């Protein structure tokens, strides 16, 4: 790239600019960068700070009027874009007893990870799934869904959606259902019984890209981590990190977002790690730190239960757990893998 402005070239750029053209050589190194250009930055939303605002939102607007009463977790570098990391949307949704969030469907896929409360449900295509803290719930692309609350006290969950990816591809569609609720057509637990036992009904040809199990209960996943932890089979970078799977094809539970539950035993210090996927974390149990360190620059986020934080792509980081910790996370890794683009680096 030329160091000093060259008047002939500048004049040329203006002339071709009038014809909607631009010189590649001025931008080639930004465009074909040596390493990823990540816009989002590491950031943590402390639940003690967030919760009062979330509860206040409950006095200002009903779930029905809002359609979805959500405070979007916007990355500081991406304000106004409804993005939590470059490729993913995340928000905290509040529903109060007796409320309904009316039925709609959209091409972006959604996941819910339950933060607090009990006895609210998500109904997917007419089957209710009741939600408890730590449960991982899926709303597949284009599936009718509504939320309701049959319990007491506020219910809060993390929404994770692939909205930025679907927008980028220009494939966003959405529609509202005529009634608040899609008609019930299966009892709660129907699909979990059908597909959630490493079995399937003989002759069943379910082949959609999203897992038919739309509830992965925390009690089961937590027990799995506990048993794995007992074997002390720790990965140096991840502790114990399990991926939620689609039971019929063995792939990830969702086609556009990879989803994980991870245990970091008390005192665990991971080695450095980075990967090209962009991730959002929800802390379920315990406390600790994540240390980002690159080219001598270091920053630390301290997390505890119910906090949320970002790990943007290609940010080198390590984890430290002060007490037994469990982290849920989701990322765009599966999209990058399908396109042959995903890379990781273990160690520094
Ligand atoms: O629950 O359907 O956070 O459609 C953003 C968009 C939640 C939902 C969000 C949505 C939903």
Instruction: Give the mean pLDDT of 264-271.
Output: 97
Q: Which residue has the tokens 């470059």?
A: 86
For ligand 1, the distance from its centroid to the CA atom of residue 6, given in whole angstroms, is: 51
DSSP state string for 296-336: TEEEEEEEETT-EEEE-TT--EEEEESS-EEEEEEESHHHH
Using a pLDDT cut of 90, give the percent of the chain over it: 96
Give the Cβ contact number of residue 196 at 10 Å. 18
Mutate to test the pocket of ligand 1, among 54, 93, 257 (most ligand atoms within 8 A of CB): 93
Q: Which uninterrupted H or E stretch holds 260?
A: strand 258-264
pLDDT grade, residue 142 (50/70/90)? very high
For ligand 1, the distance from its centroid to the CA atom of residue 159, given in whole angstroms, is: 7
Backbone φ and ψ for 220, nearest 5 degrees, come out as -70, -45
Domain ranges, residue 93 = 44-346
Check pLDDT > 90 for residue 3: no
Using a pLDDT cut of 70, give the percent of the chain over it: 99
DSSP state string for 135-154: -EEEE-TT--EEEEE-SSS-
**Is residue 56 a contact partner of residue 92, using CB atoms and an 8 Å limit?**
no
For ligand 1, the distance from its centroid to the CA atom of residue 314, given in whole angstroms, is: 28
Instruction: Give the mean pLDDT of 113-135.
Output: 97
Mutate to test the pocket of ligand 1, among 138, 157, 159 (most ligand atoms within 8 A of CB): 159
**Is residue 324 a contact partner of residue 285, using CB atoms and an 8 Å limit?**
yes
For ligand 1, the distance from its centroid to the CA atom of residue 68, given in whole angstroms, is: 6
Q: Return the CATH number at 244.
A: 2.60.120.10
Instruction: Give the mean pLDDT of 106-122.
Output: 98
Instruction: Give the mean pLDDT of 77-96.
Output: 98
Give the per-residue pLDDT at 234.
93
Give the per-residue pLDDT at 77.
98
- 334 is a domain residue: yes
- 246 is a domain residue: yes
pLDDT tens for 144-161 read 999 999 999 999 999 999
Give the per-residue pLDDT at 2.
54
Give the per-residue pLDDT at 242.
97
**Is residue 227 a contact partner of residue 211, using CB atoms and an 8 Å limit?**
no
Give the per-residue pLDDT at 105.
98
Q: What gap in Å lies between CA 101 and CA 67, rounded to an integer?
A: 5
Mutate to test the pocket of ligand 1, among 103, 110, 131 (most ligand atoms within 8 A of CB): 110
For ligand 1, the distance from its centroid to the CA atom of residue 176, given in whole angstroms, is: 12
Check pLDDT > 70 for residue 1: no
pLDDT tens for 270-288 read 999 999 999 999 999 999 9
Give the per-residue pLDDT at 295.
81
pLDDT grade, residue 9 (50/70/90)? very high
Q: Considering only CA atoms, which residue is closest to atom 8 of ligand 1? A: 68
Q: Which uninterrupted H or E stretch holds 112?
A: strand 110-116
- Ligand 1: residues with CB < 6 A are 68, 70, 91, 93, 106, 110, 145, 159, 161
Check pLDDT > 80 for residue 177: yes
Beta bridge mates, 159 = 91, 112
- 139 is a domain residue: yes
- 303 is a domain residue: yes
Give the per-residue pLDDT at 348.
82
Count of domains observed in the chain: 1
Token couple for 274: 């980075």
- 181 is a domain residue: yes
- 76 is a domain residue: yes
Ligand 1 atom nearest 93 alpha carbon: 3
Ligand 1 atom nearest 139 alpha carbon: 2
Q: Which residue has the tokens 């019984």?
A: 193
CA nearest 43: which of 322, 278, 260? 278
- 13 is a domain residue: no
pTM as predicted = 0.97
For ligand 1, the distance from its centroid to the CA atom of residue 220, given in whole angstroms, is: 26
For ligand 1, the distance from its centroid to the CA atom of residue 185, given in whole angstroms, is: 22
Give the Cβ contact number of residue 92 at 10 Å. 24
pLDDT tens for 217-253 read 999 999 999 999 998 789 999 999 999 999 999 999 9
Count helices and strands in the chain by DSSP H and E runs = 8, 22
């Amino acid at each position: 790239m030329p160091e000093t402005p060259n008047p002939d070239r500048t004049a040329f750029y203006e002339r071709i600019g009038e014809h909607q053209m631009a010189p590649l050589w001025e931008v080639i190194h930004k465009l074909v960068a040596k390493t990823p250009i990540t816009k989002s930055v590491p950031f943590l939303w402390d639940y003690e700070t967030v919760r009062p605002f979330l509860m206040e939102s409950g006095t200002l607007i009903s779930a029905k009027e809002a359609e979805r009463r959500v405070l979007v977790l916007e990355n500081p570098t991406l304000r106004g874009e409804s993005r939590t990391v470059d490729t993913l949307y995340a928000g905290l949704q509040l529903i109060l007893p007796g409320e309904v969030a009316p039925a709609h469907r959209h091409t972006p896929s959604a996941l819910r990870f339950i933060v607090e409360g009990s006895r609210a449900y998500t109904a997917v295509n007419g089957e209710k799934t009741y939600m408890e803290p730590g449960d991982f719930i899926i709303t597949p692309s284009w599936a009718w869904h509504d939320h309701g609350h049959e319990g007491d006290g506020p219910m809060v969950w993390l929404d994770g959606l692939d909205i930025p990816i679907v927008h980028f591809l220009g494939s966003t569609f959405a529609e509202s259902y005529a009634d608040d609720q899609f008609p019930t057509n299966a009892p709660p637990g129907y699909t979990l019984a059908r597909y959630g036992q490493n079995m399937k009904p003989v002759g069943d040809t379910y082949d959609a890209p999203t897992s038919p199990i739309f509830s992965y209960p925390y009690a089961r996943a937590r027990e799995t981590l506990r048993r794995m932890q007992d074997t002390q089979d720790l990965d140096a970078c991840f502790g114990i990190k399990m991926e939620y799977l689609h039971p019929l094809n063995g792939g990830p539970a969702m086609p556009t977002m990879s989803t994980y539950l991870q245990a970091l035993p008390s005192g665990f210090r991971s080695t450095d790690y980075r990967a090209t996927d962009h991730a959002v974390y929800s802390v379920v149990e315990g406390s600790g730190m994540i240390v980002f360190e690159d080219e001598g620059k270091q920053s630390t986020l301290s997390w505890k239960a119910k906090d949320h934080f970002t790990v943007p792509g290609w940010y080198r980081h390590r984890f430290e757990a002060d007490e037994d910790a469990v982290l849920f996370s989701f990322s765009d890794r599966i999209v990058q893998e399908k396109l042959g683009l995903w890379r990781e680096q273990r160690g520094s």
